[in-house]
Amino acid sequence: MSFQRLPWALWRAQIPAILRLELKKTFFTRRGAWIYFLAFAPVVLYAVHSFVELKNGVHGDLGEDSHIFATVFQFFFLRLAIFFGCVGIFGNLFRGEVLEKSLHYYFLAPLRREVLVVGKFLSGLLAATVIFCSSALLQFIALYCYFSSNTIQEYLFHEHGLAHLAAYLGVTLLACIGYGSVFLAAGLLFRNPLIPTVVVLVWEAVNGFLPALLQQISVIFYLKSLCPVAVHESLNADKHNLLDLIAVNPSPAAPATAILGLLILCLIILTLSSLQVRRMQIDYGAE
Amino acid sequence: MVARQGEDEAHQPSAPPQMKRGAQEQRIVFENVSKFYGEVLGVNRVNLSIPPGITSLVGPNGSGKTTLMNLMTGLVEPTRGRITVLGISPHEPERLFHKVGYCTQFDSFPKGLTGYQFVYSYLRLFGHAHAAAARLAEQAIERVNLTEAAHRLIAGYSKGMRQRIKLAQAMCHKPSVLVLDEPLNGLDPLIRAETITLFRSLAQEGLYVIISSHVLHEVDALSDQVVLLSNGYVVAEGQIHGVREEILEHPTQILIRCNKPSDFASRIFQQEYVVEARILPDGQGLLVKTRDADRFYLLLNRIAQGGISVESVAPADDDVLSVYEYLIGAEEPPK
Amino acid sequence: MAVHKRSYHSYAGEFSPAWSRFLVVSRYAYQRALSSKFIVAYFAICFFYPLGCALALYMNHNQRLLAIFNLSSFFSVDATFFYHFMNVQGVLAFILTALVGPGLVSPDLANHALPLYFCRPFSRVEYVSGKLFVLVLMLSLVTWIPGETLFLIQSSLAGASWMWSNLWVGASIFLGSAIEILVFSLLALALSAWIKRKTAAGAALLGVFFFGAGFGQAINAVLRTKNGSLIDLGSLIARIEIQLFHQYARRPAAVPADWAWLVLLAIGAFCLLLLEKKVRAYEVVRG
C-alpha cells in the first residue's frame, strides 16, 4: 500500500470516521428512546405549567420560577436525567459493542486504541450534549414562555437571564463530560453496569459528608458550584426517602477550580480507560 | 514436519532456527507461542513459519485454530512467545492492519448498516478519503458478487451474504495477508466454488492466505500447505505429501488396478516392506500397504514388465483426511 | 418405507402433577441466580437486620439486663418498630429484585428460548408463574417471613395479651410485604421481558424508581401540587405502609391511601399486560 500519512493527520481522519460510525448507532434509534424521554420530560412539564398559567391568566413570579428551575435542574436534571442518560450512552460505547460482538472490527483496523477511546468518547459526548443541551434550552424557553415579551426581554437582556442560560448550558456540557468519562470507564471495567451506577450514585449522594479531598473526586461537586442559582437541600418540605439520599449538597468550589478540576478528572479517567483498552482482548464467549 | 500427540518435550518439533530479519519479514512467524485462557489451554509451544500461498489450519473443534488466528492479529495476547507478521508485531495495529485483513468467525455486525456502509465506514478508519474509500468498497463488494445487495441492511442478509460481506470487509484495503476463519461456512456449493477460485487467485497474486476449515477435501484441493492442530499442539505442518511421507507407523496405502491381482499379490508379498495386500471385491485390482513407497514403486515397474497389465496406480491415503485420521484420530470425526 | 417391527412406543410411565410443573422453571432459575457469589452474599446480608432485631427483642425482655440499667424496657415494641423494620427490609428487597429479577426472562428472550418452552405442553401462565415464584420466594424470605418471625418472638416474650392487641400488626406485616413483593416482582419481570440485556433491565428497574421519585418531586414543585407523587413508586408503597401501620403522625401523607392502592394495582395490571405481549412463542424481528 502506497498510502502514507503523519499520525496527527491520520488521527484527524480517523476520529471523524469513528464519530460517523458511532452516531449512527446512538441517534434516533429505538433502543435509545428512553434517553430522549429522560431528557425531554422536564420540557413537557414546564410546557404544561406554562399552558396552565396562560389559560388561567396568572402572572407568574420570575424569581420564584427561576428558583424552581434551578431546583429541578440540580436535583432532577443533573443528578437523574443526565446521570442515567450518560449511563445509557457512554456505558454502551464499549460494553454494548462487546455484547453485540462487533468490537473486533475496530481492533482489526490500523487504529491506535487510544484514538478509539477518544473517538468513542467524543461521539458519546456529541450525542449527550446535543440531547441534553437542547433539552436545557427548551426547558428554559418552556418555563418562561408564558411571561409577557417585555418581561422576558428585560430578564434576558438587562438582567442575568442570558448569563443564567449560558451557565446552565455550560453546566450541562460539563455534566456530560464528567459523567461520560466515568461511565465510559465503568463500561470497560464492569460487565454489569448496575454496580458502578449504584456506586457512583451513592458516592455522589454522600459527597457532602466526605472530607474535602474526597469531595473533589466527584462530578456533582464541581457542577453544583457552577450553577447560577443556589438552592436549598430538598425540593420541598416533603422529604422523601429516596431523594433524601441524593439531595444533600456538597460545599461549593470556585468556578475556575470547578471547570479545571472536572476537566482534569475527566482526562485522568480517559487516560486510565485508554490503558485498559490497550490491554483488552477479544473474548466474547466470556460475556 | 510431524509431531505425535502425547509425546514428551524431547520429541516436540524444534523451534525454527533464528531467522534472518529479511527472511522473517517474508513470513508469518510464531516463536514458541503459548496461550492459556486461565487453566484452559488454547495453544502450546507453537513454532510456525508460514510462507506465501494458501495455508490451511486443520483440526477438530477446540484444537486452537481460531486462537492462532486471534494471536497473529492481536485480538488476544500470547501467554508466552513472540509473533511477527511480515516483520510487524501484533502490538502495532496501526502498521499491522494495513497489511493484514481478518475475516473472523463471528457472525455479528454493527447495527443499522448496509453492506456498503459496513465496508466503506471501516475503510474510512484506515484514513482513506471519501472517494478512495468508496472506490475500494465497491471493488471489494464486486469481487464477492454482492453489488446488487450492497445497499440493503446487513440484518436482512442471508447467512451466505453475511459471510461474503465479511470477506469483502476483510480484503477491501488490499492487504498482503488474509486470515480467514472458516470462510466457506454457510455458502452454497456454487458460491463456495467461486470463493475458492477467489482465494486461489489472491494466492497467485502473492498474498498470504491463511484459512481454517473442517472440510478436508476442500483443504486438499485448495491448500499449498497445511498445519494440523490437535488439543492446542501443532501435530504436523507442511505440504500434504511431505507430511504423509513422515507418518511412518501408518504404511502407505496404494490402490492398483490390474488384470491379475492374485499373481501380483504373490509377487509382492515376498518383499519385507509390503505389509498387506488385499484383493478388491471386483477382482480387478488390489490395495497394498507398504512401509516403503519408493521401493515399492521400483518393484511395481519390474512387475509391470513381467507380464501383468497394470491399468492404474494411485495413493489411497495421500490426502488431508487420511493424515487427519492418522494423526488426530477418531475423537473428533472430520466432516 | 415398510415397517416390519413396531419397537417404538411412546412414553407410558408416570408424569409429575400438572400443577407443580411451573416449579421446574423456578428450580433452574434459582440455580442460575444462586450461582452468583455476589447475590448469595447479598442475600445473606439481608438477614443481618432481622437477626439484629431479634437480638434486640430478646435483650428488651431480658430482666437481668434491664435490671442493670434499671429500666423496664430499652424501647417500645409496637407498630412503629415493625414499620421501621419493613422500611429497611423493603429497601433490601428492592435491591435484591434488581439483582435477581432481570436475569429471569431477558436471557430466555435474548437466546430465543421461549419457543423451546412453549413447544412443550407448558403454558405462558406457567412460565410467568415459575419465574414470579423465584422472586416471590426470595423476597418473602427477606420481608414478611422474618417480620412475622419477629412478631412471634415478641409475642412469645411479651405474652398473649400483647399478641391479641397487636394482631393487626401481624396482618399489616404480611399485607405490606405482599404489596412490595408483587409490585417489585411484576415490574422486574416486565422490564426483563422487554429489555433483552439483563444488565440494562437491572439499570432500568433502578431508573424507574429513581426517575419516578425525582420527576414526581419535580412535578410537585413546578405545578405546585402533590399529585406528582403518584408516579413515585417508593412514595406510593410508603403511603400504604403508613396506612397499614397507622403511622399518620410520623409522616405527612403525600397522596391519599386509596389513590396509592389504585395506582399500584394499575401498575401491576400494566406489568401483566407487558408480560402478556412479550412472553410468546414467537418474536417479530424488524430490520
pLDDT tens for chain B, 335 residues: list them: 655 444 444 434 444 444 455 666 789 999 999 999 888 888 989 999 998 889 999 888 888 999 999 999 999 999 999 999 999 999 999 899 999 999 999 989 988 899 999 999 999 999 899 999 999 999 999 999 999 999 999 989 988 899 999 999 999 999 999 999 998 887 888 888 888 888 888 888 888 999 998 777 777 778 888 898 888 888 888 887 666 666 666 678 888 898 888 888 888 888 888 888 888 888 888 898 888 888 888 888 888 887 888 888 888 876 667 767 766 765 444 44
Of B94, B102, B108, the CB nearest to A110: B94
Residue of C nearest to B111 (CA): C287
Answer yes or no: do B125 and A107 touch at CB < 8 A: no
Is the pLDDT at A122 greater than 90? The verdict is yes
Q: What is the pLDDT of residue A123?
A: 94
Q: What is the pLDDT of residue B116?
A: 96
Answer yes or no: do A49 and C223 touch at CB < 8 A: yes
Which of the residues B70, B125, B181 would you substitute to probe the A interface, choosing the one with the greatest number of A C-beta atoms within 10 Å? B125
Does the beta carbon of B63 lie under 8 angstroms from any beta carbon of chain A? no
Would you kindly state where each structural domain of chain A is located, as residue ranges? Answer: 7-286
Digit-coded pLDDT (tens) for A68-91: 999 999 989 998 999 999 998 998
Is the pLDDT at A114 greater than 50? The verdict is yes
From chain B residues 23-62, the ones with a CB under 8 A of any chain A CB are: 37
A224 close to A79: Cβ distance less than 8 angstroms? no
Of A16, A110, A282, the CB nearest to B70: A282
Does the beta carbon of C121 lie under 8 angstroms from any beta carbon of chain B? no
- How many CB atoms are closer than 10 A to CB A250? 20
Q: What is the pLDDT of residue A173?
A: 95
CA-based nearest distance B18→chain A, Å: 28
At B130, list the grid cell: 471519501
Q: Count CB pairs under 8 A between chains A and B.
A: 96
Does the beta carbon of C287 lie under 8 angstroms from any beta carbon of chain B? yes
DSSP B208: E
Q: Count CB pairs under 8 A between chains B and C.
A: 4
| Chains within contact range of chain C (3+ C-beta pairs < 8 Å) | A, B
Q: How far apart are CA A61 and CA C113, in angstroms?
A: 58
CA-based nearest distance A199→chain C, Å: 12
Answer yes or no: do B121 and A20 touch at CB < 8 A: yes
Q: What is the pLDDT of residue A220?
A: 84
From chain A, the residues in CB contact with C214 under 8 A are: 75-76, 79-81, 243, 246
Q: Domains in chain B, please, with CATH?
A: 9-245 (3.40.50.300), 251-316 (3.30.70.920)
Can you give the pTM of this predicted structure?
A: 0.81
The pLDDT > 90 percentage for chain A reads: 43
Does the beta carbon of A34 lie under 8 angstroms from any beta carbon of chain B? no
Rounded to the nearest integer, the mean pLDDT of chain A is 85
From chain C, the residues in CB contact with B155 under 8 A are: 287
Average pLDDT, integer, range A160-187: 93
From chain C, the residues in CB contact with A146 under 8 A are: none
Q: What is the pLDDT of residue A250?
A: 52
Measured in whole angstroms, the distance separating CA B258 from the mean position of its chain's CA atoms is 35
From chain C, the residues in CB contact with A238 under 8 A are: 217, 220, 226, 229, 252, 254
Choose between A71 and A194: higher pLDDT.
A71
From chain B, the residues in CB contact with C287 under 8 A are: 112, 153, 155-156
**pLDDT by position in tens, chain C (length 287):** 676 777 788 888 898 898 999 999 999 999 989 998 989 999 999 999 999 999 999 999 999 888 998 888 888 899 999 999 999 999 999 999 998 999 899 889 888 888 899 988 899 999 999 999 999 999 999 999 999 999 999 999 999 999 999 999 999 999 999 999 999 999 999 999 988 888 888 888 988 888 898 899 899 989 888 888 899 999 899 999 999 999 887 666 678 889 999 999 999 999 999 999 988 887 666 55
Task: Kindly provide the ipTM of the predicted complex, given to two decimals.
Answer: 0.81
State phi, psi for B54 to the nearest 5 degrees.
-95, 120
Measured in whole angstroms, the distance separating CA B210 from the mean position of its chain's CA atoms is 7
